[in-house]
Structure 1
Amino acid sequence: MGVLTNKIERENLKPGDHIYSYRFAYAYSHHGIYVDAGNVIHFTRGEGQETGTGTVLDRFIGSSLPQRRPLDDPCPICDDPSKGDGVISSCIDCFLSGGDLYLYEYDVTRKYFLAKPLGGTCTLASSESPEQVIHRAFYFLRKGFGVYDVIKNNCEDFALCCKTGLQVIPTVSVGQSGQAASFQAAGGVILSSSLMFLARSSPLGFLATNVSGLAGIYGKYCVNRLVNDIGVRRDVRRVVLEEET
Protein backbone atom coordinates (compact mmCIF):
# COMPACT_ATOMS: atom_id res chain seq x y z
CA MET A 1 0.00 0.00 0.00
CA GLY A 2 1.14 3.51 -0.70
CA VAL A 3 0.12 7.00 -1.77
CA LEU A 4 0.33 6.17 -5.47
CA THR A 5 -1.57 2.88 -5.52
CA ASN A 6 -3.60 0.51 -3.34
CA LYS A 7 -3.22 -2.43 -5.70
CA ILE A 8 -3.07 -5.84 -4.04
CA GLU A 9 -2.60 -9.41 -5.23
CA ARG A 10 -5.39 -11.93 -4.64
CA GLU A 11 -3.22 -14.21 -2.56
CA ASN A 12 -2.74 -11.39 -0.05
CA LEU A 13 -6.44 -10.84 0.57
CA LYS A 14 -7.91 -11.58 4.00
CA PRO A 15 -11.55 -12.26 4.96
CA GLY A 16 -13.29 -8.99 5.80
CA ASP A 17 -11.14 -6.86 3.48
CA HIS A 18 -12.82 -3.93 1.74
CA ILE A 19 -11.80 -4.19 -1.92
CA TYR A 20 -12.56 -2.21 -5.05
CA SER A 21 -11.89 -2.11 -8.77
CA TYR A 22 -11.97 0.81 -11.20
CA ARG A 23 -14.42 1.15 -14.08
CA PHE A 24 -14.05 3.52 -17.03
CA ALA A 25 -10.33 4.01 -16.32
CA TYR A 26 -10.28 5.82 -12.96
CA ALA A 27 -13.63 7.60 -13.26
CA TYR A 28 -15.53 5.33 -10.87
CA SER A 29 -14.74 2.38 -8.63
CA HIS A 30 -16.92 -0.51 -7.52
CA HIS A 31 -16.58 -1.68 -3.90
CA GLY A 32 -17.31 -4.84 -1.95
CA ILE A 33 -16.38 -7.02 1.02
CA TYR A 34 -14.14 -10.02 0.43
CA VAL A 35 -15.57 -12.97 2.34
CA ASP A 36 -13.44 -16.02 1.66
CA ALA A 37 -12.53 -18.57 -1.02
CA GLY A 38 -12.77 -15.94 -3.74
CA ASN A 39 -16.28 -14.74 -2.83
CA VAL A 40 -17.30 -11.08 -2.60
CA ILE A 41 -20.48 -9.46 -1.22
CA HIS A 42 -21.28 -6.14 -2.86
CA PHE A 43 -24.10 -3.65 -3.52
CA THR A 44 -25.21 -3.10 -7.11
CA ARG A 45 -27.73 -1.22 -9.17
CA GLY A 46 -30.09 -3.48 -11.11
CA GLU A 47 -29.46 -3.70 -14.83
CA GLY A 48 -31.44 -1.11 -16.79
CA GLN A 49 -32.40 0.95 -13.74
CA GLU A 50 -31.63 4.65 -13.74
CA THR A 51 -29.84 6.29 -10.83
CA GLY A 52 -31.86 9.44 -11.28
CA THR A 53 -28.94 11.86 -11.40
CA GLY A 54 -29.58 12.86 -15.00
CA THR A 55 -25.83 13.23 -15.50
CA VAL A 56 -22.92 11.29 -16.96
CA LEU A 57 -22.66 9.61 -13.54
CA ASP A 58 -25.52 7.34 -14.61
CA ARG A 59 -23.19 5.78 -17.16
CA PHE A 60 -20.42 5.31 -14.60
CA ILE A 61 -22.72 3.69 -12.06
CA GLY A 62 -24.07 1.37 -14.72
CA SER A 63 -20.54 0.07 -15.04
CA SER A 64 -20.63 -1.07 -11.41
CA LEU A 65 -22.61 -4.09 -12.52
CA PRO A 66 -20.64 -7.24 -13.29
CA GLN A 67 -20.19 -7.57 -17.04
CA ARG A 68 -22.72 -9.80 -18.77
CA ARG A 69 -21.11 -13.05 -19.85
CA PRO A 70 -21.95 -14.79 -23.13
CA LEU A 71 -24.81 -17.26 -22.91
CA ASP A 72 -22.51 -20.06 -24.03
CA ASP A 73 -19.93 -19.21 -21.35
CA PRO A 74 -21.75 -18.64 -18.03
CA CYS A 75 -19.79 -18.27 -14.81
CA PRO A 76 -19.76 -21.70 -13.13
CA ILE A 77 -20.09 -19.99 -9.74
CA CYS A 78 -22.34 -16.99 -10.30
CA ASP A 79 -24.38 -17.90 -13.40
CA ASP A 80 -25.09 -14.30 -14.54
CA PRO A 81 -24.45 -11.79 -11.73
CA SER A 82 -25.22 -8.86 -14.05
CA LYS A 83 -28.89 -9.67 -13.39
CA GLY A 84 -28.38 -8.98 -9.72
CA ASP A 85 -29.94 -6.06 -7.90
CA GLY A 86 -29.13 -4.78 -4.42
CA VAL A 87 -26.72 -6.72 -2.22
CA ILE A 88 -25.41 -9.78 -4.06
CA SER A 89 -22.69 -12.40 -3.68
CA SER A 90 -20.40 -13.25 -6.58
CA CYS A 91 -16.99 -14.68 -7.32
CA ILE A 92 -14.10 -12.25 -7.38
CA ASP A 93 -13.71 -12.56 -11.17
CA CYS A 94 -17.27 -11.37 -11.77
CA PHE A 95 -16.79 -8.62 -9.17
CA LEU A 96 -13.65 -7.34 -10.90
CA SER A 97 -15.15 -7.62 -14.41
CA GLY A 98 -11.66 -7.62 -15.88
CA GLY A 99 -10.34 -4.78 -13.72
CA ASP A 100 -7.43 -4.72 -11.28
CA LEU A 101 -7.84 -5.41 -7.58
CA TYR A 102 -7.32 -2.71 -4.92
CA LEU A 103 -7.53 -2.69 -1.11
CA TYR A 104 -9.35 0.13 0.70
CA GLU A 105 -7.34 1.44 3.67
CA TYR A 106 -8.63 2.26 7.15
CA ASP A 107 -7.31 4.28 10.09
CA VAL A 108 -5.05 6.43 7.91
CA THR A 109 -3.64 9.78 9.05
CA ARG A 110 -5.01 13.10 7.79
CA LYS A 111 -1.74 13.79 6.04
CA TYR A 112 -1.92 10.48 4.18
CA PHE A 113 -5.62 11.00 3.36
CA LEU A 114 -4.99 14.42 1.85
CA ALA A 115 -2.04 13.09 -0.15
CA LYS A 116 -4.44 10.78 -2.01
CA PRO A 117 -5.75 12.76 -5.01
CA LEU A 118 -8.68 10.38 -5.62
CA GLY A 119 -11.51 9.72 -3.21
CA GLY A 120 -12.79 6.24 -2.49
CA THR A 121 -9.42 4.77 -1.55
CA CYS A 122 -9.04 5.25 2.22
CA THR A 123 -10.62 6.69 5.36
CA LEU A 124 -9.63 8.01 8.77
CA ALA A 125 -12.20 5.67 10.34
CA SER A 126 -11.16 2.42 12.00
CA SER A 127 -12.39 -0.97 10.88
CA GLU A 128 -14.01 -3.40 13.29
CA SER A 129 -12.98 -7.05 13.49
CA PRO A 130 -13.14 -9.24 10.36
CA GLU A 131 -15.79 -11.38 12.06
CA GLN A 132 -18.04 -8.36 12.63
CA VAL A 133 -17.47 -7.10 9.09
CA ILE A 134 -18.40 -10.43 7.50
CA HIS A 135 -21.39 -10.80 9.83
CA ARG A 136 -22.79 -7.44 8.65
CA ALA A 137 -22.11 -8.25 5.00
CA PHE A 138 -24.11 -11.49 5.23
CA TYR A 139 -26.85 -9.72 7.19
CA PHE A 140 -27.25 -7.12 4.42
CA LEU A 141 -27.14 -9.92 1.84
CA ARG A 142 -30.25 -11.34 3.51
CA LYS A 143 -32.00 -8.10 4.49
CA GLY A 144 -30.85 -5.62 1.84
CA PHE A 145 -29.20 -2.22 2.12
CA GLY A 146 -31.97 0.06 0.92
CA VAL A 147 -32.33 1.64 -2.51
CA TYR A 148 -29.15 2.26 -4.49
CA ASP A 149 -28.36 5.97 -4.89
CA VAL A 150 -25.17 7.22 -6.52
CA ILE A 151 -24.73 10.07 -4.02
CA LYS A 152 -26.42 8.92 -0.82
CA ASN A 153 -26.27 5.12 -0.79
CA ASN A 154 -23.84 3.40 -3.13
CA CYS A 155 -21.47 0.42 -3.12
CA GLU A 156 -18.77 2.28 -1.18
CA ASP A 157 -21.31 3.35 1.46
CA PHE A 158 -22.24 -0.32 1.81
CA ALA A 159 -18.65 -1.47 2.28
CA LEU A 160 -17.89 1.35 4.74
CA CYS A 161 -20.96 0.42 6.80
CA CYS A 162 -19.90 -3.23 6.89
CA LYS A 163 -16.42 -2.25 8.05
CA THR A 164 -17.30 0.44 10.62
CA GLY A 165 -20.91 -0.19 11.60
CA LEU A 166 -21.62 3.47 10.81
CA GLN A 167 -24.05 5.00 8.34
CA VAL A 168 -24.77 8.62 7.45
CA ILE A 169 -28.17 9.86 8.66
CA PRO A 170 -30.55 9.57 5.66
CA THR A 171 -31.70 13.21 5.81
CA VAL A 172 -28.33 14.61 4.72
CA SER A 173 -27.56 15.44 1.09
CA VAL A 174 -24.52 13.20 0.63
CA GLY A 175 -23.56 9.76 1.92
CA GLN A 176 -20.23 8.71 3.35
CA SER A 177 -18.81 7.59 0.01
CA GLY A 178 -15.36 9.08 -0.61
CA GLN A 179 -15.77 9.06 -4.37
CA ALA A 180 -19.18 10.78 -4.18
CA ALA A 181 -17.61 13.49 -2.02
CA SER A 182 -14.80 13.81 -4.58
CA PHE A 183 -17.28 14.22 -7.43
CA GLN A 184 -19.02 17.01 -5.55
CA ALA A 185 -15.77 18.65 -4.51
CA ALA A 186 -14.46 18.45 -8.07
CA GLY A 187 -17.63 20.16 -9.28
CA GLY A 188 -16.89 23.05 -6.96
CA VAL A 189 -13.30 23.17 -8.20
CA ILE A 190 -14.42 23.36 -11.83
CA LEU A 191 -16.83 26.19 -11.06
CA SER A 192 -14.24 28.13 -9.08
CA SER A 193 -11.65 27.61 -11.83
CA SER A 194 -14.03 28.90 -14.48
CA LEU A 195 -14.81 32.01 -12.45
CA MET A 196 -11.11 32.61 -11.86
CA PHE A 197 -10.28 32.36 -15.57
CA LEU A 198 -13.10 34.71 -16.52
CA ALA A 199 -11.90 37.24 -13.97
CA ARG A 200 -8.46 37.54 -15.61
CA SER A 201 -8.84 40.20 -18.29
CA SER A 202 -5.10 40.40 -18.92
CA PRO A 203 -2.84 37.43 -19.79
CA LEU A 204 -0.11 38.93 -17.62
CA GLY A 205 -2.50 39.33 -14.73
CA PHE A 206 -3.59 35.73 -15.12
CA LEU A 207 -0.01 34.45 -15.05
CA ALA A 208 0.74 36.49 -11.95
CA THR A 209 -2.11 35.00 -9.95
CA ASN A 210 -2.63 31.61 -11.59
CA VAL A 211 -0.42 29.54 -9.28
CA SER A 212 -1.80 30.90 -6.01
CA GLY A 213 -5.36 30.74 -7.34
CA LEU A 214 -5.13 27.11 -8.39
CA ALA A 215 -3.43 26.19 -5.12
CA GLY A 216 -6.34 27.70 -3.20
CA ILE A 217 -8.88 25.86 -5.33
CA TYR A 218 -7.11 22.54 -4.86
CA GLY A 219 -6.97 23.22 -1.13
CA LYS A 220 -10.75 23.64 -1.07
CA TYR A 221 -11.11 20.36 -2.95
CA CYS A 222 -9.01 18.56 -0.32
CA VAL A 223 -10.90 20.14 2.58
CA ASN A 224 -14.27 19.17 1.06
CA ARG A 225 -13.08 15.57 0.74
CA LEU A 226 -11.85 15.53 4.32
CA VAL A 227 -14.97 16.97 5.98
CA ASN A 228 -17.12 14.33 4.25
CA ASP A 229 -14.99 11.41 5.41
CA ILE A 230 -16.81 8.96 7.68
CA GLY A 231 -13.92 9.17 10.15
CA VAL A 232 -14.46 12.92 10.65
CA ARG A 233 -18.12 13.79 10.15
CA ARG A 234 -20.60 13.62 13.01
CA ASP A 235 -23.88 13.21 11.11
CA VAL A 236 -23.63 9.43 11.38
CA ARG A 237 -25.39 6.75 13.37
CA ARG A 238 -24.43 3.27 14.44
CA VAL A 239 -26.35 0.59 12.59
CA VAL A 240 -28.02 -1.89 14.93
CA LEU A 241 -28.93 -5.15 13.21
CA GLU A 242 -32.39 -6.50 14.00
CA GLU A 243 -31.00 -9.70 15.46
CA GLU A 244 -28.89 -7.68 17.92
CA THR A 245 -31.85 -5.96 19.55
Structure 2
Amino acid sequence: MVGVLSNKIERDELKPGDHIYSWRHAYLYAHHGIYIGDGSVIHFTRGAGQEIGTGTVLDRFIFSSSPSNPSGSPCPRCGDQSMAEGVISSCLECFLSGGDLYQFQYNVSPATFLAKARGGTCTLAPSDPPEDVLYRAEYLLQNGFGGYNIFKNNCEDFAIYCKTGLLIFTTVSVGRSGQAASFLAAASAIVSSPLRFLTTGFAGLTAVGCGVYCISRIVSDIGVRRDVIKIPVERLVSRSGLDEDEAATQTSKEE
Protein backbone atom coordinates (compact mmCIF):
# COMPACT_ATOMS: atom_id res chain seq x y z
CA MET A 1 0.00 0.00 0.00
CA VAL A 2 1.38 3.41 -1.00
CA GLY A 3 2.21 5.57 2.01
CA VAL A 4 3.56 9.01 2.79
CA LEU A 5 7.17 7.88 3.04
CA SER A 6 7.19 5.10 0.47
CA ASN A 7 5.41 4.45 -2.82
CA LYS A 8 6.29 0.76 -2.83
CA ILE A 9 3.43 -1.52 -3.86
CA GLU A 10 2.78 -5.21 -4.46
CA ARG A 11 2.29 -6.55 -7.94
CA ASP A 12 -1.28 -7.64 -7.28
CA GLU A 13 -2.14 -3.98 -6.62
CA LEU A 14 -1.23 -2.92 -10.16
CA LYS A 15 -3.91 -1.64 -12.50
CA PRO A 16 -3.64 -0.87 -16.24
CA GLY A 17 -2.69 2.77 -16.69
CA ASP A 18 -0.60 2.98 -13.52
CA HIS A 19 2.63 4.99 -13.67
CA ILE A 20 5.27 2.78 -12.07
CA TYR A 21 8.99 3.04 -11.45
CA SER A 22 11.94 1.14 -10.03
CA TRP A 23 15.15 2.48 -8.51
CA ARG A 24 18.44 1.77 -10.25
CA HIS A 25 22.07 1.79 -9.13
CA ALA A 26 21.57 1.99 -5.36
CA TYR A 27 18.75 4.57 -5.57
CA LEU A 28 20.79 6.91 -7.77
CA TYR A 29 17.85 7.33 -10.15
CA ALA A 30 14.59 5.60 -11.09
CA HIS A 31 13.29 4.19 -14.35
CA HIS A 32 9.63 4.94 -15.15
CA GLY A 33 6.94 3.38 -17.31
CA ILE A 34 3.21 2.78 -17.81
CA TYR A 35 1.75 -0.56 -16.78
CA ILE A 36 -0.66 -1.76 -19.48
CA GLY A 37 -1.84 -5.00 -17.92
CA ASP A 38 -1.01 -8.67 -18.51
CA GLY A 39 2.38 -8.19 -16.88
CA SER A 40 3.58 -5.69 -19.51
CA VAL A 41 5.03 -2.17 -19.27
CA ILE A 42 5.50 0.48 -21.97
CA HIS A 43 8.49 2.69 -21.25
CA PHE A 44 10.95 5.07 -22.88
CA THR A 45 14.55 3.89 -22.99
CA ARG A 46 17.92 5.34 -23.76
CA GLY A 47 19.88 3.34 -26.30
CA ALA A 48 22.54 1.32 -24.48
CA GLY A 49 26.00 2.71 -25.06
CA GLN A 50 24.80 5.71 -27.05
CA GLU A 51 26.00 9.16 -26.10
CA ILE A 52 22.62 10.77 -25.59
CA GLY A 53 22.07 11.90 -22.05
CA THR A 54 25.02 13.28 -20.16
CA GLY A 55 27.09 13.02 -23.33
CA THR A 56 29.84 11.18 -21.48
CA VAL A 57 30.94 7.62 -20.87
CA LEU A 58 28.79 7.71 -17.70
CA ASP A 59 25.74 7.28 -19.92
CA ARG A 60 26.28 3.59 -20.47
CA PHE A 61 26.84 2.84 -16.80
CA ILE A 62 24.70 5.25 -14.79
CA PHE A 63 21.87 6.37 -17.01
CA SER A 64 21.21 3.30 -19.14
CA SER A 65 17.52 2.47 -18.92
CA SER A 66 17.52 -0.55 -21.21
CA PRO A 67 15.58 -3.43 -19.66
CA SER A 68 17.26 -6.62 -18.57
CA ASN A 69 16.24 -9.97 -17.16
CA PRO A 70 17.37 -10.52 -13.55
CA SER A 71 18.71 -13.95 -14.49
CA GLY A 72 21.21 -12.39 -16.87
CA SER A 73 19.99 -14.47 -19.82
CA PRO A 74 17.57 -13.32 -22.54
CA CYS A 75 14.00 -13.16 -21.32
CA PRO A 76 11.82 -15.95 -22.80
CA ARG A 77 9.03 -13.41 -23.24
CA CYS A 78 10.88 -10.25 -24.31
CA GLY A 79 14.03 -11.67 -25.84
CA ASP A 80 17.26 -9.69 -25.62
CA GLN A 81 16.38 -6.02 -25.11
CA SER A 82 19.79 -4.94 -23.80
CA MET A 83 20.29 -2.68 -26.82
CA ALA A 84 16.68 -1.54 -27.04
CA GLU A 85 15.96 2.16 -27.45
CA GLY A 86 13.00 4.51 -27.77
CA VAL A 87 9.51 3.53 -26.63
CA ILE A 88 9.33 -0.22 -26.07
CA SER A 89 7.18 -2.82 -24.35
CA SER A 90 8.71 -5.18 -21.81
CA CYS A 91 7.48 -7.67 -19.28
CA LEU A 92 7.36 -6.44 -15.70
CA GLU A 93 10.38 -8.55 -14.72
CA CYS A 94 12.59 -7.00 -17.38
CA PHE A 95 11.33 -3.50 -16.61
CA LEU A 96 12.17 -3.89 -12.92
CA SER A 97 15.58 -5.44 -13.68
CA GLY A 98 15.64 -7.00 -10.23
CA GLY A 99 14.47 -3.85 -8.42
CA ASP A 100 11.38 -3.24 -6.31
CA LEU A 101 8.09 -1.93 -7.68
CA TYR A 102 6.88 1.60 -6.87
CA GLN A 103 3.83 3.59 -7.97
CA PHE A 104 4.08 7.26 -8.94
CA GLN A 105 1.39 9.36 -7.23
CA TYR A 106 -0.78 12.05 -8.85
CA ASN A 107 -2.88 14.88 -7.46
CA VAL A 108 -1.04 14.90 -4.13
CA SER A 109 -1.29 17.82 -1.72
CA PRO A 110 1.59 20.31 -1.43
CA ALA A 111 2.31 18.92 2.05
CA THR A 112 2.61 15.36 0.74
CA PHE A 113 4.69 16.55 -2.20
CA LEU A 114 7.22 18.23 0.09
CA ALA A 115 7.18 15.31 2.53
CA LYS A 116 8.52 13.14 -0.27
CA ALA A 117 11.84 14.94 -0.43
CA ARG A 118 13.17 12.82 -3.28
CA GLY A 119 11.94 14.00 -6.68
CA GLY A 120 10.41 11.68 -9.25
CA THR A 121 7.86 10.03 -6.95
CA CYS A 122 4.75 12.23 -7.16
CA THR A 123 3.18 15.35 -8.63
CA LEU A 124 0.46 17.85 -7.80
CA ALA A 125 -1.02 17.34 -11.28
CA PRO A 126 -4.12 15.12 -11.62
CA SER A 127 -4.06 12.05 -13.85
CA ASP A 128 -6.37 11.49 -16.80
CA PRO A 129 -8.62 8.39 -16.92
CA PRO A 130 -6.80 5.04 -17.49
CA GLU A 131 -8.23 4.66 -21.00
CA ASP A 132 -6.60 7.95 -22.07
CA VAL A 133 -3.31 6.96 -20.45
CA LEU A 134 -3.25 3.59 -22.21
CA TYR A 135 -4.17 5.13 -25.55
CA ARG A 136 -1.25 7.58 -25.37
CA ALA A 137 1.20 4.89 -24.29
CA GLU A 138 0.15 2.50 -27.07
CA TYR A 139 0.22 5.30 -29.66
CA LEU A 140 3.73 6.35 -28.64
CA LEU A 141 4.86 2.71 -28.70
CA GLN A 142 4.04 2.73 -32.40
CA ASN A 143 5.19 6.27 -33.21
CA GLY A 144 7.97 7.17 -30.76
CA PHE A 145 8.53 9.97 -28.27
CA GLY A 146 11.41 11.86 -29.86
CA GLY A 147 15.04 11.76 -28.78
CA TYR A 148 16.01 10.84 -25.23
CA ASN A 149 17.43 13.63 -23.09
CA ILE A 150 18.08 13.21 -19.38
CA PHE A 151 16.90 16.69 -18.41
CA LYS A 152 14.24 17.46 -21.01
CA ASN A 153 12.79 14.22 -22.39
CA ASN A 154 13.41 11.15 -20.28
CA CYS A 155 11.46 8.08 -19.12
CA GLU A 156 9.67 10.02 -16.37
CA ASP A 157 8.70 12.75 -18.85
CA PHE A 158 7.23 10.03 -21.06
CA ALA A 159 5.17 8.49 -18.26
CA ILE A 160 3.94 11.88 -17.03
CA TYR A 161 2.87 12.83 -20.54
CA CYS A 162 0.97 9.56 -20.89
CA LYS A 163 -0.81 10.24 -17.59
CA THR A 164 -1.60 13.93 -18.12
CA GLY A 165 -1.18 14.85 -21.79
CA LEU A 166 0.74 17.95 -20.64
CA LEU A 167 3.62 19.34 -22.66
CA ILE A 168 5.98 22.18 -21.79
CA PHE A 169 6.07 24.73 -24.60
CA THR A 170 8.80 27.10 -23.39
CA THR A 171 12.54 26.70 -23.85
CA VAL A 172 13.68 25.64 -20.40
CA SER A 173 16.52 23.54 -19.02
CA VAL A 174 14.27 20.91 -17.50
CA GLY A 175 11.18 19.02 -18.65
CA ARG A 176 8.38 17.46 -16.63
CA SER A 177 10.67 15.06 -14.77
CA GLY A 178 10.65 15.41 -10.97
CA GLN A 179 14.03 13.70 -10.80
CA ALA A 180 15.64 16.32 -13.03
CA ALA A 181 13.85 19.12 -11.18
CA SER A 182 15.06 17.90 -7.80
CA PHE A 183 18.63 17.63 -9.09
CA LEU A 184 18.54 21.22 -10.31
CA ALA A 185 16.78 22.33 -7.10
CA ALA A 186 19.56 20.79 -5.03
CA ALA A 187 22.18 22.55 -7.14
CA SER A 188 20.27 25.81 -6.74
CA ALA A 189 20.12 25.37 -2.98
CA ILE A 190 23.88 24.94 -2.84
CA VAL A 191 24.98 27.78 -5.09
CA SER A 192 22.27 30.42 -4.64
CA SER A 193 22.40 31.00 -0.88
CA PRO A 194 23.91 34.45 -0.28
CA LEU A 195 27.18 34.45 1.62
CA ARG A 196 25.60 36.48 4.41
CA PHE A 197 23.70 33.42 5.52
CA LEU A 198 26.98 31.78 6.43
CA THR A 199 27.03 33.98 9.52
CA THR A 200 23.91 32.28 10.87
CA GLY A 201 25.84 29.09 11.44
CA PHE A 202 25.26 25.58 10.18
CA ALA A 203 21.65 25.38 11.36
CA GLY A 204 20.69 28.61 9.62
CA LEU A 205 22.46 27.67 6.43
CA THR A 206 20.75 24.28 6.44
CA ALA A 207 17.33 25.89 6.91
CA VAL A 208 17.93 28.30 4.04
CA GLY A 209 19.18 25.50 1.80
CA CYS A 210 16.14 23.34 2.57
CA GLY A 211 13.84 26.27 1.89
CA VAL A 212 15.39 26.99 -1.49
CA TYR A 213 15.27 23.29 -2.37
CA CYS A 214 11.58 22.94 -1.47
CA ILE A 215 10.52 26.11 -3.27
CA SER A 216 12.51 25.20 -6.38
CA ARG A 217 10.95 21.74 -6.48
CA ILE A 218 7.36 22.83 -6.08
CA VAL A 219 7.46 25.70 -8.61
CA SER A 220 8.91 23.35 -11.23
CA ASP A 221 6.24 20.68 -10.73
CA ILE A 222 4.06 20.02 -13.75
CA GLY A 223 0.97 20.58 -11.61
CA VAL A 224 1.70 24.26 -10.92
CA ARG A 225 3.80 25.39 -13.88
CA ARG A 226 2.32 27.96 -16.23
CA ASP A 227 4.31 26.96 -19.29
CA VAL A 228 2.36 23.77 -20.01
CA ILE A 229 -0.37 22.92 -22.44
CA LYS A 230 -2.48 19.84 -23.06
CA ILE A 231 -1.81 18.41 -26.48
CA PRO A 232 -3.30 15.33 -28.19
CA VAL A 233 -0.77 12.57 -28.73
CA GLU A 234 -1.41 12.56 -32.48
CA ARG A 235 -0.40 16.21 -32.68
CA LEU A 236 2.62 15.64 -30.48
CA VAL A 237 3.90 12.96 -32.82
CA SER A 238 3.03 14.71 -36.10
CA ARG A 239 4.50 18.08 -35.15
CA SER A 240 6.93 17.18 -32.39
CA GLY A 241 5.30 19.70 -30.07
CA LEU A 242 3.83 23.18 -30.44
CA ASP A 243 5.16 26.46 -31.65
CA GLU A 244 5.75 28.61 -28.56
CA ASP A 245 3.66 31.54 -29.79
CA GLU A 246 0.77 29.28 -30.72
CA ALA A 247 0.91 27.55 -27.36
CA ALA A 248 0.97 30.86 -25.51
CA THR A 249 -2.05 32.04 -27.49
CA GLN A 250 -3.98 28.88 -26.66
CA THR A 251 -3.05 29.12 -23.00
CA SER A 252 -4.31 32.71 -22.79
CA LYS A 253 -7.60 31.62 -24.35
CA GLU A 254 -8.00 28.84 -21.81
CA GLU A 255 -7.44 31.33 -18.99
After TM superposition, is the score higher than 0.5? Answer: yes
| Aligned-partner Cα distance in 1 for 2:40–2:129 | 18
- Residue 185 of structure 2 aligns with which residue? 185
Structure 2 unaligned regions, length at least 5 = 239-255
Are 1:68 and 1:82, in contact at CA under 8 Å, matched by a contact in 2?
no
| Aligned-partner Cα distance in 1 for 2:55–2:146 | 21
| Aligned-partner Cα distance in 2 for 1:192–1:163 | 33
Q: How many residues align?
A: 235
- Is 1:67 the equivalent of 2:68? yes
1:52: how far off? 4.4
- The aligned runs of 1:42-57 (5 Å cut-off) are 42-54=43-55
- Residue 242 of structure 1 aligns with which residue? 234
1:54: how far off? 4.5
Which amino acid is 1:45 matched to?
R
| Aligned-partner Cα distance in 2 for 1:14–1:148 | 27
Q: What do you get for the CA RMSD once the two structures are aligned?
A: 2.4
Are 2:67 and 2:90, in contact at CA under 8 Å, matched by a contact in 1?
no
- Structure 1 residues 170 and 141 mapped into 2: Cα distance closer, same or farther (>3 Å)? farther
1:53: how far off? 2.5
Are 2:47 and 2:85, in contact at CA under 8 Å, matched by a contact in 1?
yes
- Structure 1 residues 170 and 74 mapped into 2: Cα distance closer, same or farther (>3 Å)? farther
Which amino acid is 2:218 matched to?
L
Structure 1 unaligned regions, length at least 5 = none
- Structure 1 residues 168 and 215 mapped into 2: Cα distance closer, same or farther (>3 Å)? same
CA deviation digits over 1:153-187, x for unaligned, max 9?
00000000000011112622210100000111111
- Is 1:228 the equivalent of 2:229? no
Taking structure 1 as the reference length, the TM-score comes to: 0.88
- Residue 102 of structure 2 aligns with which residue? 102
- Residue 209 of structure 1 aligns with which residue? 201
Name whichever of 37-46 and 75-84 sits farther off.
Answer: 75-84
| Aligned-partner Cα distance in 2 for 1:45–1:20 | 15
| Aligned-partner Cα distance in 2 for 1:52–1:152 | 10
Taking structure 2 as the reference length, the TM-score comes to: 0.85
Are 1:69 and 1:80, in contact at CA under 8 Å, matched by a contact in 2?
no
Identity %: 58
- Structure 1 residues 243 and 227 mapped into 2: Cα distance closer, same or farther (>3 Å)? closer
Are 1:157 and 1:167, in contact at CA under 8 Å, matched by a contact in 2?
no
Q: What SS is found at the alignment partner of 1:34?
A: strand
Are 1:42 and 1:155, in contact at CA under 8 Å, matched by a contact in 2?
yes
